[in-house]
Structure 1
């Protein structure tokens, strides 16, 4: 694959607590320049970014981030607010404690409610694979499929680990045919990106690939 083809699958991401509007604007400029799939930014910058890009680049933001243990109603409010501000893609974090407690109905219901809010917007479900065992990962493939979310996503990038090749291969084996896969967290080279894509990922959450591309130009 060419670098350009890979970058079209990248959610160019800046979610650091210290992120300023100037940095977010640069992320938007880079996304526009390199044709990324979206920019993934904190909720507080969605309205300004949407106005700045004028519909030329999808704006993605995060819900229940990074821990996932907000109430469902709080996540619903966040989602409605983000969409009203111009977000077209939402990456939500599941309630990991509920999953660990095998309260699967709660986890699925929450995703379904967020998908209802999203309507025709894209919903990606972050399951934080580094905190889960294999049984829990497989169960989340089932739940995300049943809840009719658009993507299952590996990681926030704020926990103990990011995407792994094994996790993407597992997703590809167990997730439904209508659910796409996003690898995020620690993707640091175009070689790794291509491996994730070959295993089944169609989106990549990273900031490093654009930085690499900029260094080459």
Structure 2
């Protein structure tokens, strides 16, 4: 999505964009105090989920106890090249700590090698290990061509995950409208699409939603909500 030429979409009937947002903080320098603030903001605004590093899952679960905000964390993040066994163990541990949503990174190198069956098998093992938690599969679109994105979205569907996700936010580029549209067009409603990476404004969120995203990963959730309130 170009920053030099902003695209403005017509006003949408987003009654409350908060329910689209995964309020995210995954920087390596993240502190416990910042996680607590993240959770307070999530409850205040009613975000769908917080997405936090594995080391902070227990505190996030405690902070959000009794709220409607889910706790998500990451597996194989951000590079995706952990072994499948390691990813399965990570998933099981996060579930035992109270995560109800898992954002996993595929083995990008295997995907680029055309080993889609192996990628699909890994996703299926993560889904099984998640014990009912929603699994969002990050395919890191910036490294893929159109046919690879289509093949991987179909693999995510067959493996039983809940969402295909555009990006980690740590790659060369984040979510792009055209990628979200392609993933949504391929998924055909069988799974959701999560857009993440570089989404910083209400207009960004609207663009991604129009393109087909049903979840938005962003560290700018509070600013987006303030923009939404100001637009009412």
TM-score surpassing 0.5? yes
Query: Equivalent residue for 1:201?
Result: 213
Residue segments in structure 2 that go unaligned for 5+ positions in a row: 1-11
Q: What is the DSSP-based 3-state SS (H/G/I as helix, E as strand, rest coil) of the residue aligned with 1:8?
A: helix
27-36 or 134-143, which moves further after superposition? Answer: 134-143
User: Aligned-pair RMSD on alpha carbons?
Assistant: 1.6
1:131-175 Cα deviation digits (max 9, x unpaired): 111111111111111111100000000010100000011011112
Q: Sort the Cα spacing of 1:2 and 1:27 in 2 relative to 1 into closer, same or farther, 3 A.
A: farther
1:14-68 Cα deviation digits (max 9, x unpaired): 0000000000000000000000000000000001110121141210000000000
- 8 Å Cα contact 2:201/2:223 also seen in 1: no
CA shift at 1:3, angstroms?
6.9
CA shift at 1:119, angstroms?
2.8
The counterpart of 1:77, out of the listed 77, 84, 89, is 89
- 1:24 & 1:153 partners in 2: Cα distance? 23
Matched, 1:106 2:118: yes
Query: Equivalent residue for 1:144?
Result: 156
Q: Sort the Cα spacing of 1:3 and 1:104 in 2 relative to 1 into closer, same or farther, 3 A.
A: closer
Residue segments in structure 1 that go unaligned for 5+ positions in a row: none
Query: Equivalent residue for 2:4?
Result: none
Query: Equivalent residue for 2:177?
Result: 165
Q: Tell me the TM-score normalised to structure 2 length.
A: 0.89
Q: What is the DSSP-based 3-state SS (H/G/I as helix, E as strand, rest coil) of the residue aligned with 2:50?
A: strand
CA shift at 1:177, angstroms?
2.7
Please show how residues 1-217 of structure 1 align to structure 2 within 5 Å. Answer: 1=12, 5-56=16-67, 57-213=69-225
CA shift at 1:209, angstroms?
3.0
- 2:45 & 2:224 partners in 1: Cα distance? 12
* Number of positions where the alignment pairs a residue of Structure 1 with one of Structure 2: 217
